[in-house]
Chain A
Amino acid sequence: MANGLEAVEPLEGIVAGTSLWADAWWRLRRNRLAMVGLVVLGVVVLASLAGPPIIAHTTGYTYDYIPSEPALIRAMPPFTGPDGHFAWTHPMGTDNAGRDILARVLLGGRISLLVGITSTLVSLIIGTTFGATAGYLGGRVDEAMMRIVDVLYALPYMMIVIVLLAFFGNQSPFGQLILLFVALGAVSWLTMARIVRGQVMSLKSRDFVQAARATGVTPVRIVLRHLVPNALGPVIVYATLTVPSVMLLEAFLSFLGLGVQAPLASWGSLSADGIQNIAIFPWQLLCPGLTMAVTLFSLNFIGDGLRDALDPQARKS
């Protein structure tokens, strides 16, 4: 009885053995697009993690390896060897310095996914804390806090991020990544705060919260142990949809030369390099760009599928 998870879905208990999550997983599995998305995303993640060492082992190329032979320092189309005939060495071709684009795209995948996930976590922490506080305290505090969110919504915040990165960036590749995590997380928590607040508002008057309060549980514990876990569904859905949008923002900044710095690369910075030679070597843009598009496509489908799975009301009619 004291366990909040049972009290939220009282009807669920009648159908013995299917929890909210098992139900959601069952519905998600029947969503073909979301499952395709999951598989594609799995392939991209696996390739980014396992690919670079495999390439380094078989062909000797790493993301920043520039061949020593002058004849190899040039752009080669996909699946072409130095003699112009078919070869497996560079499935995505090479860039102007003769670097293997596949190895670079996979490194870019690591960085882009890392930025996407970490910044989403940052936004999750800020948004959940802010939203839960506002929703739980209610009244004037809530009104003031949500006014702040409204105001921030209506500001050209990306311009401030651009200023931040242009003036503070370019220190070290690692410092730049930290800066990106924080900057992107700090601008993408607004919707999350609204969602969490709404959930907390509707949950806090439930009996199990009253019971917890009556037994003397502190407000912080009530929020953390009873309210936040019960608001998890919509939060997970929105977090899944935040990952692609943050990755887009990262790519946008890297494209402008303000994001990830060389020698590291992300899909955005690789596309920016590729666009220079679009007329002669189009694969230099298409390979990183389309890899990114496919990844975002799957992430969006997974997010949509999760929303339909966790909130069946949304799609029914």
Chain B
Amino acid sequence: MLKFIIRRLLVTVPMVLVVVSITWGLIRLAPGNFYTGEKAIPPAIERNLREKYGLDRPWYVQYGRMIGNTLHGDFGSSLKYPSTSVNSILANAVPVSATIGTLAYLLALLVGIPSGAMAALRQNSTADYASMTVAMLGISIPNFVLGPLLVLVFSLTWFWLPPARWNGFSPNLILPVLTLSAIYMAYIARLTRSGLLEVLRSNYIRTARAKGLSDREILVRHALRGGLLPVLSFSGPALVFIITDAVVVERIFALPGVGNYFINACLNRDEPLIIGIVAFTAIAVLVFNLVVDVAYAFVDPRVRY
């Protein structure tokens, strides 16, 4: 197990470098650069700036420096905000995104698992069809429609909740977390339902029933453990999706998270900031996937590394 973890962590390094290299290559192959903005800069100033940031050196020197920076975990200073380091931007933005992402996924688990389990236990009942239709609705409504809709109802019509802005751990978080969470609630409910249906048919559940356990005990002590495996393995990819979805949610609710900075960095062609954010998310996603795989081995004794 330890060997497996170490090997996976070692593989993470080249993978992050590959992702960063692809991103860097795309940025460099694209026409134009940071200085071909709408406001023209005098050539002398541009030359000085390029010299300052090392952009006048040959491409392989710049590439090498970018890789070196990534390996050191220090991405240099942003081009758009000259006196700010990429790391300090990340330090401000990551907690925002991490907060809404974690809360959204926890909420999704909290709502999705019980409703999926209920649907599976009463398969083909009205409750089953109702909850699965609602889940399908959750999968089908784009978050950029749901978010504004919630704002329209709860903030602009009823004035119950604040519509936007980051205010730390406050009611401002309710609407963005709900918006981000909806689709995962739906996915998790569906996964729980199909996972449980599969497990409830298996022999060990029949054994448990035969030895006289109550339905409740069968569900809690036997069925859920196997039935939730699909939910667990979904958690890995879910992080990738949440990071993507958070981009939209942060924009709708004007939250200063990683996604918002990333889009602005792309539009500003702020290369160090883009590289920093891509590298950071790649590391986060890879490490999280490793955690999920390890957890899987603990929950499912059939899995060995």
Instruction: Give A contacts to B, CB under 8 Å.
Output: 33, 151, 153-160, 162-164, 166-168, 244, 248, 251-252, 255-256, 258, 268, 271-272, 274-275, 278-279, 282, 285-286, 289-290, 292-294, 296-297, 300-301, 304, 317
Contacts and interface: CB of A to CB of B under 8 A. Distances in A.
Nearest to B293: A154
B248 A160 contact: no
A282 B286 contact: no
21 contacts: A151-B15, A154-B236, A154-B237, A154-B285, A154-B289, A155-B15, A156-B281, A156-B285, A159-B262, A162-B263, A166-B263, A166-B266, A244-B140, A256-B247, A256-B263, A272-B144, A275-B144, A293-B142, A300-B136, A300-B139, A317-B123
B23 A163 contact: yes
Secondary structure type dominating chain B contacts: helix
A293 B23 CA distance: 32
Interface in B12-59: 15, 19, 22-23, 26-27, 30
Nearest to B156: A279
A248 B142 contact: yes
Contacts of B148: 274-275, 278, 285, 289
A162 B265 CA distance: 11
Q: Which one of A151, A156, A258 has the greatest number of beta carbons of chain B within 10 Å?
A: A156
Nearest to A161: B244
B243 interface: yes
Contact of A154 (B140, B240, B269): B240
Q: Which one of A159, A258, A282 has the greatest number of beta carbons of chain B within 10 Å?
A: A159
A271 B26 contact: no
Contacts of B243: 156, 158-159
A234 to B, nearest CB: 15
Across the A-B interface, give the 4 residue pairs with the lowest CB-CB distance, nearest first: A289-B145, A167-B30, A166-B266, A296-B140
B137 A297 contact: yes
B151 interface: yes
A141 B4 CA distance: 22
